[in-house]
């Protein structure tokens, strides 16, 4: 049964996708970085290539992933996300890794 996952986007991705700071997407099966990002790209195809490489699906170097005040950037893309993300209590955060002018 699909679950609703909250995903918070950085400003420039919100502009590209024409959405607010948080979107809600449906994920089927295990809730992992990979399944969440697949669902984000499916719902908002204009974000393909802006979070992960089009072909390799590797994270773009200056982006990081957080949830529940933990840095999940270097976790396996197939590791389950925290329960609070799966339950919808907490969002999955996509953020810029460094500040820039």
Query: Would you say 19 or 68 has its CB closer to other proteins?
Result: 19
Considering the complex, what minimum distance in angstroms separates the CB of residue 56 from other proteins?
A: 10
Retrieve residue 47's tokens.
């974000």
Cα 29 to Cα 51: distance, rounded to the nearest angstrom: 21
* Closer Cβ to other proteins, 63 or 68, answer by number: 63
Closest approach, Cβ 3 to other proteins, in A, equals: 20
Separation of alpha carbons 84 and 63, rounded Å: 22
Residue 33 to residue 31: CA distance in whole angstroms: 7
Q: Which residues bind other proteins (CB under 8 A)?
A: 10-13, 16-19, 41, 43-51, 54-55, 60, 62-63, 96-97, 100
What is the SS3 assignment for 13?
helix
Nearer to other proteins, 10 or 82 (CB): 10
């Amino acid at each position: 049964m699909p679950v609703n996952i909250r995903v918070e986007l950085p400003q420039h991705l919100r502009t590209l996708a024409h959405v607010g700071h948080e979107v809600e997407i449906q994920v089927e099966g295990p809730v992992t970085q990979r399944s969440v990002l697949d669902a984000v790209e499916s719902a908002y195809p204009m974000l393909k290539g802006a979070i992960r490489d089009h072909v390799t699906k590797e994270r773009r170097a200056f982006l990081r992933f957080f949830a529940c005040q933990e840095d999940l950037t270097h976790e396996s893309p197939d590791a389950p996300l925290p329960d609070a993300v799966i339950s919808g209590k907490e969002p999955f955060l996509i953020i810029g890794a460094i500040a820039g002018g």
